[in-house]
Amino acid sequence: MECSLAIKGIAGAKILHDLQGSFLKLTGMEFSFVDLKGKPVIVPQYASHFCKALLSAKKKDTAFCDLLNKSCEQIASAKKPYIFEHNKLLFAAVPIVMQENVIGAVLMCPPQAAESSAAVVTKEQVKNASELLFILINYIFKNEFDFLVVSDSDMQYSRNQEAVINAIGYIKKNYHNKDISLQKVSSEVSLSHYYFSHIFKDEFKITFIEYLTKVRMDAAAKLLKNRKLNVNQVAYAVGYQDPNYFSKVFKRYMKTSPIEYRESLFKKGVEKQIITV
């Protein structure tokens, strides 16, 4: 699943900035953050010149694109750094692991590789540097960052689910209110009624009105068991101001009128008493 990495906090940003400079001096390698599809995550501040050039030109360089994607797939399953070669240069993809899941990657590359004067870096050096970066990055992420790692679609889906769950709770508490409506409930969950109506139907495969009617009819069926309440009182108790309309809706939903439904309950109760005796 493609993920985007949102990192918050000035202190955390400073740590990353300091780490990049220190890591370059120590290993001679630069790095930049990518998601698990090889898409740049933090380019402006933290991508080195060469890393940024490679990532921005990635679409044109299909060979590099394929290698980076393969590397991301490799680290997603192996959960350890993966070294690959492109144009006789050595690179490493370093996984960022959170709660045993790989949530992103760091692309590690030589700093001035495009220049003829660039120092030759051995595979052993790249391996050691990638393992060091793996430890440092994951330590920082675990201990210093307040961050979110979710895809945009997952985030939206989660918000939609939360809105629908809150709406269901509101409906069950307020179905008896004659003023309850799509507009009222959508306002309670801070969504437009057009959008709320859409996500509600997507989640339950029925409309808001159909769900509200179901809740009211189920409640009415329970109230009809109480012979002290007449049909009009039951109608008012579940949010209907017109008892005749309530009876029509009840019959359409339950396939029988409120009175017939109550009589059938009473008959079943009498038969049960006879059998018991």
> Do residues 145 and 8 share a domain?
yes
pLDDT on residue 150: 46
Task: Decide if pLDDT at 194 tops 80.
Answer: yes
> Do residues 11 and 125 share a domain?
yes
> Do residues 27 and 73 share a domain?
yes
pTM, full prediction:
0.48
pLDDT on residue 159: 76
> Do residues 133 and 199 share a domain?
no
Give the residue numbers spanning the domain of 48.
4-150
- Dmax over CA atoms of the chain, in Å, equals 103
The neighbour count for residue 80, using CB atoms within 10 Å, is 15
- Domain boundary, last residue among 96, 130, 150: 150
- Report the range out of 1-10, 108-117, 203-212 with the highest average pLDDT: 203-212
Amino acid code (one letter) for 216? R
pLDDT on residue 172: 93
pLDDT on residue 235: 95
Which phi and psi angles does 122 have, rounded to 5°?
-80, 160
C-alpha to C-alpha distance for 257 and 248, rounded to whole angstroms: 8
Which phi and psi angles does 127 have, rounded to 5°?
-60, -50
> Do residues 166 and 224 share a domain?
yes
134-151 mean pLDDT: 69
Task: Decide if pLDDT at 45 tops 70.
Answer: no
- Domain boundary, last residue among 150, 175, 203: 150
C-alpha to C-alpha distance for 266 and 227, rounded to whole angstroms: 9
Q: Where are the alpha helices (DSSP H) in 119-277?
A: 123-143, 152-174, 182-188, 193-204, 208-223, 231-237, 243-254, 258-276
Contact 164, 188 (CB under 8 A): no
Cα angle 104, 107, 110; round to 5? 165
> Do residues 145 and 177 share a domain?
no
> Do residues 161 and 145 share a domain?
no
pLDDT band at 93 (very low <50, low <70, confident <90, very high): very high
